[in-house]
Chain A
């Protein structure tokens, strides 16, 4: 394992960084798309069941199938990383739409009423009252989406997009379990670091939550 790392440092580090951005970028795009959709699901209550059910349905598509189908849907090359990013964005979106809607719904009716009565306009209330209060719920969803993406990216090795998953296929084809183990450890480390970063970011954004805990 160590030997492999010594002999192929450039490969492994470039795979690591590919794996990193392929895990993170879809979550970011997914969140940006999920915010307005989640807002609709929370603002117009009758849209909540169809929107969240549809989102849930997306998540049931097998990842390998989606990776393979992407080029024919998007017209991209089979080895293009765009396929992976789009497919993973779909999964992130599927998770985050419900999370954003639930987060916005967690704002107490009293607080909404007060915000409206103070004279917040629709978008102002969303950005300055509803969204900040929904942060703890949304970041909980971001953690799940990010960690699950780290795992899903590795599946891309099967369709030949090089990243940490390539260590699995290489270890498997060369019968060297150490290489596979290295892949697992690096994936694990990546997932833990990203998770910790989201927790940290959430803490920075929500000092009021700690104030409650301290009481």
Chain B
């Protein structure tokens, strides 16, 4: 647990970066600090490992007052990931990862072999061990940065906009893997970002900070989207928040059975399976491949990959209603494809079926309690 107790950071020129921050980041959870430039989010983060010293107030790490321990010792027990990875250009990847264990005086050989295990864990091939940071792409460097922060197995990790310098595709990939890793490791994480979508995607709880360094709202992502505490938070959370809040809404859908076709089936088979002129093609493991328009298939022709429409997104049946609604809206057939954990077809739903489910769920909540 990390606890901020009336923490203030004032600079000699009178600028107040952080103004009386009170906040608890629970153990094993991801707490995201989000806010516009100048809201003191990075300053707050850096006060935890004392790269910046607070002017007043106390930051507790469990029952340890961070102001009362040696700064270097404190830092070796806290993982740290920064925006451009900040890798040491003169050290090989494996030595970058092993930095903290080596600083702690651990056995060199052991530290390196553990570093290679960690590299594989964050999705880097062991063959990268002897390379230098400049030989890696931005996304790969960021993975090294994460591995380096994890190397001494610290209970606490600080992450300062770690994924904001990579392109959107790589960023989404890194975010997903980060969440998978965290589900295995259960670290206490403070994550700084200026991107509210990232905050909502990654955070167990999100702290929205205002310019001048005050806490505007501390809440779960779903609460933040559905119940922003003031105009500032509402504005910062942004448009489409009603739709985005559906990302946290799961509900039991009742999918319709879908007649399917396979590659190589002929026009007659497609015609038999089609509803509203479209039928769904799947592979041998019943994983959806795409939609075929029955009318596009001439007599005697077969289903080929070129004929498939792949526009529809796939939604896990155990996932959010947002995913299901998006699957329905993006499907050329008007029917959203639901899949199970193995990626195999469960059935399809229409947008109106999903919306009905949403409405009944929300209505139930409005009438049931004051929430």
Contacts and interface: CB of A to CB of B under 8 A. Distances in A.
Interface in A124-166: 124, 129, 132-133, 135
Interface stretch (B83-91, B232-240, B281-289): B83-91
A96 to B, nearest CB: 20
Contacts of A121: 72
> Which of A108, A118, A120: most chain B Cβ within 10 A?
A118
Interface residues of B, number: 28
A113 B187 CA distance: 22
B138 to A, nearest CB: 13
Contacts of A132: 90
The interface size bin for chain A is 20 to 34
Interface stretch (A4-12, A76-84, A204-212): A204-212
Interface in B177-235: none
Contacts of B90: 132-133, 135, 206, 208
Closest CB pairs A-B (n = 3): A114-B86, A119-B76, A117-B80
A11 to B, nearest CB: 45
Contacts of A129: 88
A151 B76 CA distance: 50
Interface string B87-107: 111110000000110010000
Contacts of B74: 119
Contacts of B73: 119
A208 to B, nearest CB: 4
B134 interface: yes
Nearest to B78: A117
Contact of B132 (A113, A117, A212): A212
A116 B53 CA distance: 14
Interface of B: 49, 51, 72-76, 78, 80, 82-91, 99-100, 103, 131-132, 134-135, 148, 158
A113 B88 contact: no
18 contacts: A110-B86, A111-B88, A111-B89, A113-B51, A114-B88, A115-B86, A117-B75, A117-B78, A117-B158, A118-B103, A119-B103, A120-B103, A129-B88, A206-B90, A208-B89, A208-B132, A211-B135, A212-B89
Given A116-B75, A133-B90, A211 B80 contact: no
A45 interface: no
Nearest to A110: B86
Nearest to A122: B72
A41 to B, nearest CB: 22
A132 B132 CA distance: 14
Contacts of A119: 72-76, 100, 103
